[in-house]
Amino acid sequence: MSFAATVLTLYPEMFPGPLAASLSGRALEKGIWSLERVQIRDFAHDRHRSVDDTPAGGGAGMVLRPDVLAEAIDSTASEGDARPRILLSPRGRPMTQAFVRDLAKGPGAVLICGRFEGVDERVIEARGLTEVSIGDYILSGGELGAMVLLDAVVRLLPGVMGNQESGEAESFETGLLEHPQYTRPQHFEGRGIPEVLTSGDHGRVAAWRRAEAERITRKRRPDLYALYEAGHRPGKGES
Ligand code: SAH
């Protein structure tokens, strides 16, 4: 069963864009996931094909109309379509690895990309959209957010990553940031590789990596470290 992504956007030509390269591109060719692009403007009603209007109450910018967006969403819904409808939005729940992992286990996603000042609140309610944010900054549109989400999901789909294990040890999967990584050459501009990593002692290597992951997380992300210390493990119910 392949992961079915539908993206609703005013800029369908932006897709697959960077997702056509590397891991996600190969997976797309292999049919591990599929990508359908829907031009929101195709659902405009007037001859100017307008999709937006001025904000009620005044103020700068334009807002995406609820009727046009609702019709675009409804055009993607077939009988029994259980895919979550996700609106990329700076007001949404922060995108986490646990969220991405849950999504990757499901049938796919309908991703709605806002533009301008955002979308009319009523379509969010009426179509049960889940708002998801990729971080505390403002993008000019949801398209890059949708790409970030798809990139994160697709690499988790079975058959996409060569070494399935490398997904497991990564930052956030353990609740900790990752330990430092090294490779050849043995000496680089006067810097060596920590001795323990070349000792061949797997127990010591594992202990060193865990200690480094804890040290780095404590220093850089005290918020994550507090959750880790409290026994929180991502993917076990919480996100
Ligand atoms: N006026 C809005 C921002 C609109 S930005 C506000 O202040 O909340 C235009 C569109 O870009 C949004 O509708 C959303 O789809 C997308 N976008 C902007 N920032 C985003 C973020 N951090 N995460 C996900 N989508 C974002």
What DSSP line would sit under 169-187, residue for residue?
Answer: SSTTTSSSPPPP---S-S-
Ligand 1 centroid from CA 183, angstroms: 39
| Residues tagged in the binding site annotation for S-adenosyl-L-methionine | 114, 134-139
The tokens describing 170, both together, are 């990564």
- Residue 22's pLDDT is what? 97
Average pLDDT of span 1-14: 96
Give the torsion through C-alpha atoms of 20, 24, 29, 31, to 10 deg.
-140
The residue whose CA has the least distance to atom 11 of ligand 1 is: 141
CATH of domain 165-229: 1.10.1270.20
Residue minimizing CA distance to atom 20 of ligand 1: 90
User: Per CATH, which fold does 3-154 belong to?
Assistant: Alpha/beta knot (3.40.1280)
Quick one: which of 59, 50, 175, 170 has its CA closest to 117?
59
- Domain spans of the chain, in order of start: 3-154, 165-229
- Confirm or reject: Cβ of 134 under 6 Å from ligand 1: yes
- Ligand 1 mean position to 187 CA, how many Å? 45
Q: Does residue 235 carry a pLDDT above 70?
A: no
For residue 166, name the pLDDT band (cuts at 50, 70, 90).
low
What average pLDDT score do residues 137-144 get? Answer: 98
Q: Please state, rounded to an integer, the average pLDDT across all residues of the chain.
A: 94
Please report the atom of ligand 1 found closest to the CA of residue 133: 23
Closest residue to atom 23 of ligand 1, CA basis:
133
Higher pLDDT: 170 or 78? It is 78
Our answer on whether the CB atom of 135 is closer than 6 Å to any ligand 1 atom is yes
- The pLDDT, as a whole number, for residue 232 is 77
Does this chain's domain 3-154 share its CATH topology with 165-229?
no
Task: Report the SS3 class of residue 12.
Answer: helix
Q: Model's pTM, two decimal places?
A: 0.94
> What is the chain's length?
239
How crowded is residue 168: how many other Cβ atoms within 10 Å of its Cβ?
A: 9
Q: What is the pLDDT of residue 170?
A: 78
What is the percent of the chain with per-residue pLDDT over 90, rounded to a whole number? 89
User: Are the beta carbons of 1 and 33 closer than 8 angstroms?
Assistant: no
Mutation probe of ligand 1 site: the residue of 91, 116, 139, 148 with most atoms within 8 A of C-beta = 139
* Ligand 1 nearest-atom number relative to CA 138: 19
Does residue 52 surpass a pLDDT of 70?
yes
- Two tokens, residue 11: 């800029």
**Dihedral Cα 13, 16, 18, 23, nearest 10 deg:** -170
Our mutation pick for probing the ligand 1 site, out of 8, 10, 69, 88, counting the most ligand atoms within 8 A of Cβ, is 88
